[in-house]
Chains A and B, each alone.
Chain A
């Protein structure tokens, strides 16, 4: 089973004094539904950008399947086949004029042949329920449809680990429900899903593993039940108040 590991990772954005990742050490176990929670600015998005080599740590090591990431072209290409990232705003991912073309972009970058790309596009479109909109222009889709197309664009690369950075933040409950149905099918296929979320219901009902980020570090990593029982972490991260209010 594939997994991701951060070992004492530091990262600071150019011109910033504060570290966005400040000695982050955490493991994302394979085959789990992982919820990543934390306040805005806790380092969640920065962590995600390290997962498939988009950012390179200033210090420390990111490991995939036990091996440190190598940042040359060939290794990054291989890594991005295994670790897919889908971002919060689907509009910033969809660049092609038609849905089918956008989904085909990732598989072509993997060097696949056109028949194989067509098969992958079909497979991802079926998984994300966007088959009927393959020939539609991307700008004519609703927010929920754009989110599913963005997801299909990443799933067409058939990653082992899917990382979703608050993809559902702008969706209505029905749109979120459809995305969770897709996640359920992926989980059944043994995929690892890492989801950044502010919704504590997601942590309680969907997640099998939780990572709590605070100040660029992992304040907690474990099961949702363990998190609920850990009064010290709940108090330290301010989760106690919001969690129990929400429940």
Chain B
């Protein structure tokens, strides 16, 4: 999470209006889902990857690694689509069969195609979200939600939760090191016990910190309601706009042609 966050803050299009980046990501995601064609999905991955590298200046491998991690989970999730398990051998003459004890594991070219299409479709949609996550810090997305008139309380909650993720991760790390240095993870069961204690302690810590945060907010004149802070200023990138239009049109054209 730290790495994604670092790139979100340090990329070349960080200051571009998040509406522009989110707009592109949402449209590409929508097209991947709506068109449901492997070529469209692959094209979406290529565009998002390309824009992240050439426009945002992210290293090629960073986007690739994130996609690879997602591909792993997607592949696991679609195993059930590609393979069937039954007690009787399937009658389909095209099926590949593998007997495992009393069970038959089978698959057909159609199943494989369906699974691959599903993976590509999800990967295309995920690449659009990756582009957004790697180029836009959460604070900008929260700001966008504010502009879109989302509930102020929800937005404040998101802001504070986002901040607390990092604070609690630091606490978690400190506590883990303290436990580990006293052999808290020297065996499996001791590790389980230590992890349980750590979890409960972290919960108490989170509660106490929230109370101290409330005191600190009150000390700065907070009287309840919306946590008002300065809005961020952004600029519009015509170059990104043109490339976004080209990406969307190429996806639509690919679907029409194919």
Contacts and interface: CB of A to CB of B under 8 A. Distances in A.
Note whether A and B form a binding pair.
Answer: yes
A85 B222 CA distance: 13
Given A54-B219, A95-B160, A101 B139 contact: yes
Contacts of A81: 221
A97 B138 contact: yes
Interface string A57-87: 0000000000000000100010011001101
Contacts of A136: 9
Interface residues of B, number: 31
A172 interface: no
B131 to A, nearest CB: 20
A2 to B, nearest CB: 17
A97 B221 contact: no
Interface stretch (B40-48, B190-198, B228-236): B228-236
Interface of B is mostly: helix
Interface residues of A, number: 41
B219 A137 contact: no
B220 interface: yes
B230 A114 contact: yes
B199 to A, nearest CB: 20
B159 A104 contact: no
A3 interface: no
B32 to A, nearest CB: 29
Nearest to B163: A95
B226 to A, nearest CB: 10
A135 B137 CA distance: 11
A76 to B, nearest CB: 8
B230 A100 contact: yes
Contacts, number: 100
A96 interface: yes
B114 interface: no
A137 B9 CA distance: 8
Interface in B155-171: 159-160, 162-163, 166-167, 170
A43 interface: no
Given A95-B160, A97-B163, A102-B229, A153 B220 contact: yes
Interface in B214-250: 215-223, 227-230, 232
Contacts of A138: 163
A91 B219 CA distance: 15
Contacts of A80: 219-221
Interface of A is mostly: helix
Interface string A129-148: 00000011111100000000
Interface string A91-116: 11111111011101110111000100
A139 B163 contact: yes
B213 interface: yes
B201 interface: no
A92 B230 contact: no
A97 B213 contact: no
Contacts of B209: 91-92
Contact of B163 (A96, A114, A154): A96
Given A87-B216, A97-B139, A139-B167, A117 B230 contact: yes
A157 B220 contact: yes
A100 B230 CA distance: 7
Contacts of B227: 95-96, 105
Contacts of B216: 87, 92-93, 95
B186 to A, nearest CB: 30
Nearest to A110: B221
A171 B82 CA distance: 58
A197 interface: no
A52 interface: yes
B163 A77 contact: no
Given A77-B221, A94-B163, A137 B212 contact: no
Interface of B: 5-6, 9, 137-139, 142, 159-160, 162-163, 166-167, 170, 209, 212-213, 215-223, 227-230, 232
Interface of A: 49, 52, 54, 73, 77, 80-81, 84-85, 87, 89, 91-98, 100-102, 104-106, 108-110, 114, 117-118, 121, 135-140, 153-154, 157
Report, nearest first, the 10 A-B pairs whose CB atoms are least far apart: A109-B221, A97-B139, A139-B166, A101-B229, A106-B220, A104-B230, A93-B216, A108-B228, A92-B212, A85-B219
